[in-house]
A and B are shown apart, each in its own frame.
Chain A
């Protein structure tokens, strides 16, 4: 079995470019992402009624409690998810009192979360830093792990490009899903993204590891052939691992609670795109680089020239 992935690389690269383009367009159009209170500040809480009063009654009660901008979402069975500006210390008690007065006391508030604007501002910054720092450390590790292979920095950079590709695709997906199914980007989404980072790199490393091994076995073989052979050899493993992990995540998504839905969607899409990019993006970048495809860019020549000298 031999699959000529390299020969069809333009199709894959084009597909990825399209995916990212669509995602970026969705991201560019306000409201960009459906950001959770971890980023925007504010409060979210659940109102669970024993007897469903209807969404209009809940909206009216919130408006009467001085929260006319509250976003009310019905979750079925008399359960409502409500998002308001920061409730402060007494806001919830006020809402409870009004709801009791207008609708009745047969309700519970099983969960409440609040984030103040100062924290929210830092969260955005810290989230970006966390992803960036994670990526840099992983890159350094790859450069180290592949130090025996000629031009190991290429492997590290290719892995990071694949990783950024994955992060962008998941972000774009959430820009779309935020509009379609109200998927939220919150602190736990950052956890998902970082996990995707780890997973994507893991996948890429497996492919690169095979390339590393095959380069060592047959140093004289054309690089694109080596990559094709390596990709083919690892294809089964990549698909199987991705499939089984996706299976476990899917089980969580289908049978687990609703509170982790968005997190699991991010993970699932990240796992799939991570596997895809390890074969069709990361490995292809190595080939493009090796074959000098980037040389046609002036900036590239200027940028890589000193490094290339050092590497040889």
Chain B
């Protein structure tokens, strides 16, 4: 059995490799070891590159506003900020890395396509996140949809729905009427699914009227109409009306507007609820607010007929709808140069500037004024301080003795610290504030008790830990240290990728099969040995790719096919040498040994030169075409090394084992087709 030890080891190795390949996902999580390899939904559980699974590759060039190249520190900062921005965007598993030496470019890889996100809200919260998710997954054909809810302190709950893609993704700002994109179709389906309820309540005793000038057609068509009013809420002289509109009255108004599917319910003597399914005339403004022409028409018609209601509200309808995730939006998000501005705020005077002026102004109470004079833009004035995001060295959340709530620590650089001292001295003196704006939106506007020297300060307030952290992040990520220009972009749709994967697998299998058939028929036994070695080669290589894990790209598959060539070459070289030695009259064993030894220098040098090429490719891959090159180089290198093992170790073991069997006495089976017949019988030796 000892003489077959090598074969047994090879078989175990082969078995192990095949097992690793065939188990889609390997997940070991025991004894403190976390090992998680293999992906669901990919062939053999291999990790696919963006060109195969679908996704987007973006390369940004970092450059200072004055055109000077960024430092390594700048780019590290950029990387962190972009990471935060992308995470905030909610994209899955982005890969962000710096390119170049010293780094001056940023590669952002976003797998699984651009991943569209819908942000929406329904007035009056008629739906829960799980219901919505169910609806997206089953009815709207988005089984991958995930819905998260963010309850708001005021207003309806906001839902975020993450989808793989919307085809074609049209953002809400460019909604095209009449050509429903999927984003539009979904919006309409949602509006239909969750009907709007309009509740109207009239003042008991009916409305008053100053004129009948605005009598509408709707009004005249109802028999018990109250006199119309031109929607002026306040009127000095009035004639009371005591008859409340009936359900039929309201239905008549709706009927005049050609609304037939509405149901009207009387909730009280002067209170009605009108259910309006499938509201027509949707429109979405740039910030995602959805309005409905039909609802507007109804409320105008009702107002004209029955006079202005005390309350008239619409609930249940889709009130907000925002689609993001178009490629352009992600690009804009990443390269966006947010501006962090520090402004000195002068609040309006607490006391009247002179005795004659009524104070506080606008009929405010003293308590209201105390707050509003510093918070309402109407009353305060601001001026630039010269402090920018650049002056801010760091910002982080923490706790401070004497402060109950978490605070945000800020650090300015030396120049910034000087300005900061001057500004804080002034605002401490005149009771102003330091207003901090991110992209024109106020982040926080702290006051100061005294001038703060040294550039270290903290901002306190009724912050929760989460709020403090968010403010710190926003302060930190305020501005990118350099400008980012999009210089390269590759985007591959998931379906195209899948198509390529299938075609490539078929091609690779056909290629390998052709090679095996050819080798076996031409070289006979050595060819079969080589084929077995090649199969082992393929199994080990794939298992290694899965375990490493190496990302398989399109060019990687090409490299794989090419490395099959290298592996074949090694086997051909050995077979040819063995043949020559047999012809020279050596015994089979001697011929096999000699064949391997003589083929070695060629195989070594050939493999080395391929490895050198792979290394150069990998080195330049960083500069050229990003992922294409490096994937190719890595696969080629791995393939070349595995080929060396398969040809030199595996083939030799199999050949020697075969030579000891019955095959060892059939010398003609060891010589290629067309070879010279050999007479001398070889003895199996050790």
Contact = CB atoms under 8 A, between A and B. Distances in A.
A96 B328 CA distance: 13
A116 B515 contact: no
A134 to B, nearest CB: 4
B612 A237 contact: no
A271 interface: yes
A10 interface: no
Contacts of B606: 201-203, 205-206
Interface string B554-586: 110011011011101100110010001000000
Interface string A253-266: 01111011001100
Interface stretch (A122-130, A168-176, A177-185, A299-307): A122-130
Nearest to B522: A240
Given A206-B573, A209-B602, A244-B572, A271 B565 contact: yes
Interface residues of A, number: 82
B181 A105 contact: yes
B173 to A, nearest CB: 10
A38 B629 CA distance: 13
Given A241-B565, A244-B518, A130 B620 contact: yes
Nearest to A146: B605
A257 B511 contact: no
Contact of B617 (A89, A90, A101, A134): A134
Contacts of A90: 328
A209 B601 contact: yes
Contacts, number: 249
B507 A191 contact: no
B658 interface: no
B487 A259 contact: no
A188 B626 CA distance: 11
B485 interface: yes
A112 B555 CA distance: 18
A194 interface: yes
A141 to B, nearest CB: 6
Contacts of B562: 195, 199, 245, 248-249, 267
Given A109-B493, A194-B613, A244-B568, A141 B608 contact: yes
B76 to A, nearest CB: 22
Contact of A113 (B491, B607, B608): B491
B569 A138 contact: no
Interface in B350-385: none
A134 B609 CA distance: 9
B503 interface: yes
Contacts of B181: 100, 105
Given A92-B327, A105-B168, A145-B605, A111 B569 contact: no
Contacts of B507: 251-252, 254-256
Nearest to A197: B613
A152 interface: no
A206 B573 CA distance: 9
24 contacts: A92-B327, A100-B168, A108-B167, A109-B493, A112-B491, A113-B490, A114-B488, A114-B490, A116-B485, A116-B486, A118-B61, A123-B625, A130-B620, A137-B612, A142-B609, A190-B624, A198-B614, A209-B602, A249-B562, A252-B561, A254-B507, A255-B503, A256-B503, A260-B558
Given A191-B555, A191-B617, A263-B558, 19 more contacts: A93-B171, A96-B168, A108-B168, A112-B327, A134-B616, A195-B613, A205-B606, A205-B609, A206-B602, A241-B565, A241-B573, A243-B518, A244-B565, A247-B515, A249-B562, A251-B514, A252-B511, A252-B558, A263-B555
Nearest 7 interchain pairs by C-beta: A245-B565, A187-B625, A198-B613, A110-B493, A248-B511, A251-B511, A202-B606
Interface of B: 59, 61, 167-168, 170-171, 174, 176, 179-181, 326-328, 331-332, 485-493, 495-496, 499-500, 503-504, 506-508, 510-512, 514-515, 518-519, 522, 554-555, 558-559, 561-562, 564-566, 568-569, 572-573, 576, 580, 598, 601-602, 604-610, 612-617, 619-620, 623-625, 628-629, 632, 636
